Amino acid sequence: MSQLAVGDVLERRYRIDHPIARGGMSTVYRCVDLRLSREVAAKVMDARFVDDPVFRDRFRREAQAMAQLKHPNLVDVYDFSSEDDDVYLVMELITGGTLRELLAERGPMPPHAATAVMRFVLTGLSVAHAKGMVHRDIKPDNVLINGDHSVKLGDFGLVRGISAAATNNEIIGTVAYLSPEQVDGSEISPASDVYSAGIVMFELLTGTTPFSGGADYAHAMARLEEDMPLASSRIDGIPPLFDELVATATRRDPEDRFTDAGEFLAALDDVAEELRLPSYTVPIPRNSAAHRATEVPTDTTGVIGATGVIPRGGDVADQGPTEVVDDATGVLPAAGQEPLEQTRVVGAAPVAPEPAPVQGPLEEIGADAPATQVSDEHTERGDAPPPVSNRSPGRLIVGLLMVAVLVAAVGLGGWWFGSGRYGEIPQVFGADRAAAVAQVEEAGFVSATRIVYHDEVPADQTVGTEPPGGTGLLPGEQVVVLVSQGQPTVPEIPGGVSVEDYRALAGERTLSVETGESVYSSDVPVGAVADASPAPGTPVPMNSTVTVAISQGPQPATVPEVEGQGLAEARRMLDEAGLNVGEVTEEFDDRIFGGNVVSVDPGPGTNLERGDRVDLVLSTAVRVPDLAGTSLDDAVDALEDEGFDVDTTRDRDAAGVDFDAVVGISPDPGTLLDPEEDMEVTVTVPGRIPAPNVVGLSVADAREVLEDAGLRISGASRRDDPDTVQSQNPAAGEDVSQRARIRVEHE
């Protein structure tokens, strides 16, 4: 389908008047239904998407949902066509504005005003719930206020059947109004709409939404972790019953909420009755896009000739009534978020004549009038101007039309340079990359992607957009889709990287760097990053701190304490420290056994480079051995072999039976002697005496004689034995050592 022009006729019935807004996939026109002579709105799919079955199905789904939901508090749908090149939806023309625009003008509402608005919203929503549908996008932008002060719920582009409302990985809806189950992927039910409606009521009472967050995802996740604040905590004067009402509607667990809009509405009515709230007429926004586009009379008679008639391809124009879609809504296939269609005004505004704007703050307007009745204050108009008698009716009509067109152009310009030309960036977080890009482009923007880190969103799913979802932006502007790559990992450490360069690498991953202890490294230059904790490659939460160790270069080799160690052990200890044995010299030291280390150069504790040499000084001292009990001959041989000069002596007082057994040595055993000087030692063996003659003496007398000589007796058991000694061994006169035993025979 080519671009429609003013005067074109869709299927010989709907004459195009002026385009209202253009979105990513369709354009909304103000039209005239030539059969019924009434103003309508036509949402016509862009030619680029006509052949796409996905887009055609979305159009069909919206038409089916709206066609089934006939109610004064729902935007009405009149006709739908999806054959050939004509894909469009014909619906009721709303001449007022949105609840969002009313809030922007007037701010928070008193309880009785908020009650009046919510009664309309919940009434319309309860009709959808009764039909088994979940709206999924309840927000002030989708609550429309008509020129007769009636309130209608619209935009059923995201509607799903309850049986088909299980979610996929995408989070679909508007961030500020999402229910917890829309965020975490739980089953969607009418209670999900109840939650969103509870947030709308909170906003009506306070002027703000309950949760905040710099990014879409953080904003959405807040409702999983926090209960709703009380409305009375944001603004004074809200009755406790309203706090309870909002709190019940917005419980985190769907089982604890009102089950559907009907139950919420009944509770609202109970509260209003108990508090005896006055009735209230909802005012029409004065600063809405519709009002900024000045009222333009529309010719509903068909007098203006059509510049082109556009029947369905190959069809003959049908003069019969157009069929209205009323197919039952079934289980609808999963789909991403619909592009928003309020993006660009391209012609005169579709505003029908409406009552004069309401004056004064909300709490002063129509307090005593019924909620469904328009007060006289809203409908009074000034007197009509006097007739002009000197002009023909035809010329008068032409003149009035010219004035109307001029005024419309001025008003439309105000709308165009205001909010009318802006589109709304779709909410795409939670969608995969391809789906998010498609949604942005479908909404009329140029897409780009940027990879970002996120602690919660899995890799390749979107975190949000820049600018954020819900922001108004000119069609054709760039919207950056932020794609998660999951949690950041600690970066690898390039060889020789400085702390500042590594900090820059970590900063690209949202991580900060602090320096810890310095470490030695034989591979990393001094001052470069040698290690990191957590280890490189470890996933960590965003904005974590990584501690890096700075290289001090190769670890110094410290000379170990090897004094007193043998040469072999000293060599092993130096090798373990990374050092080599240098020059080995000898000197006498009376503290260190021969062959053991006396000193090292450089001294113990000195830091050297690995591989350096350490000189050793070994002791030459010779230790006097302990030879006690060794035979005199063996002792002399052993000492002379070690270089000692040996002298012997006998000690007559020394004990011992073996005359040749060594009983002492001088210097004492263990004494260290210098082999270059005096090496004399004296070996002591027992002294010898002649054995006295005790034969013929009594045993008692023989004992006394031997003991007096320093000898001992053996062979006699009793000390006073009177027997006579018959013989002795050794015999009398033989040399014996001191303390030697003389064996006697007696009878």
State the Cα–Cα distance between residues 23 and 558, nearest whole angstrom. 77
Looking at 34-94, list the stretches that DSSP marks H as alpha helix, in order from N- to C-terminal side: 53-68
Provide CB contacts within 8 A for 743, sequence distance 6+.
Answer: 713, 714, 715, 728, 729
CB 427 within 8 A of CB 173: yes
Provide CB contacts within 8 A for 447, sequence distance 6+.
Answer: 437, 440, 441, 478, 479, 480, 481
Provide CB contacts within 8 A for 206, sequence distance 6+.
Answer: 108, 231, 234, 235, 238
CA-based nearest residue to 87, from 144, 34, 147, 25: 25
DSSP category for residue 419: I
Say which of 79, 86, 137, 432 is annotated catalytic. Answer: 137
State the Cα–Cα distance between residues 444 and 428, nearest whole angstrom. 14
State the Cα–Cα distance between residues 544 and 540, nearest whole angstrom. 7
State the Cα–Cα distance between residues 208 and 227, nearest whole angstrom. 16
- For 202: left if phi > 0, alpha if psi spans -120 to 50, otherwise beta; the answer is alpha
Write down how long the chain is: 747
CA 450 to chain centre: 17
State the Cα–Cα distance between residues 632 and 595, nearest whole angstrom. 28
State the Cα–Cα distance between residues 168 and 462, nearest whole angstrom. 14
Q: What is the DSSP string of 462-528?
A: EEEEESPTT-EE-TT-EEEEEEE--S-BPPP--TT--HHHHHHHHHTTT-EEEEEEEE--SSSPTTS
If residue 125 lies in a helix (H) or strand (E), which one and from where to where? helix 111-130
Question: Could you tell me whether strands 622-623 and 664-666 are parallel, antiparallel, or unpaired per DSSP bridges?
Answer: unpaired
CB 136 within 8 A of CB 336: no
DSSP category for residue 417: I
- Count other Cβ atoms within 10 Å, centred on residue 730: 15
The pair of structure tokens assigned to 304 is 């203006």
Looking at 342-465, list the stretches that DSSP marks H as alpha helix, in order from N- to C-terminal side: 376-379, 393-415, 433-442
Task: Give me the torsion for CA of 396, 401, 406, 410, rounded to 10°.
Answer: 130
Question: Is 137 among the catalytic positions?
Answer: yes
Check the CA dihedral 665-667-670-675 and report its sign.
negative
For 574-696, list the strands marked E by DSSP.
Answer: 580-587, 597-601, 607-608, 613-619, 622-623, 645-651, 664-666, 672-673, 680-686, 688-690
The pair of structure tokens assigned to 1 is 């389908």
Query: For 77, phi and psi rounded to 5 degrees?
Result: -115, 140
The pair of structure tokens assigned to 568 is 């072999």
CA-based nearest residue to 229, from 213, 196, 206: 206
Check the CA dihedral 199-204-205-210 and report its sign.
positive
Active site (catalytic) residues: 137
